[in-house]
Amino acid sequence: MTYFLPLETFAAKPGWILRQNSQTYGFVKTIVSPDGIRLDMGDMKVGIRPPDWRVTFWNQRTKFMFDESIEEFKARVPKKNIQKGWKTKVETVKPLEETYSGIKAKHYRWVEYDPNNPKNFFTLYDYACADNIGLPKRLMEVASICCYVPAGKGLPLRVTGSRQVVYLYTTLASKTMVDPEIFKAPKGYTRVKSEMEVLMKEPGLAKEQEVSDLFKAIPGK
Phi-psi region of 215 (alpha: psi -120 to 50; beta: other; left: phi over 0): alpha
Query: What region does 206 belong to: left with phi over 0, alpha with psi -120 to 50, or beta?
Result: left
Are 107 and 120 within 8 A, CB to CB? no
| pLDDT confidence bin for 3, thresholds 50/70/90 | very low
CA separation (Å) from 144 to 7, 128, 141, 151, 193? 32, 11, 5, 5, 25
> What distance, in Å, lies between the first and last C-alpha atoms of the chain?
79
Going from N- to C-terminal start, the domains of the chain cover: 13-70+86-193
Least confident of 53-62, 73-82, 175-184: 73-82
pLDDT recorded at residue 218: 39
pTM across the whole model? 0.84
Name the CATH topology of 13-70+86-193: outer membrane lipoprotein receptor (LolB), chain A (2.50.20)
User: Is there a contact between 170 and 39 (Cβ–Cβ < 8 Å)?
Assistant: no
Full DSSP string of 151-213: SSS-EEEEEEETTS-EEEEEEEEEEEEE-GGGGSPPTTPEE-S-HHHHHH--TTSSTTS-GGG
Query: What integer pLDDT is reported at residue 139 of this predicted model?
Result: 97
> Looking at per-residue confidence, does 97 or 3 come out higher?
97
Q: Write the pLDDT tens digit of every residue in 60-115.
A: 999 999 999 999 999 988 777 888 999 999 999 999 999 999 999 999 999 999 99
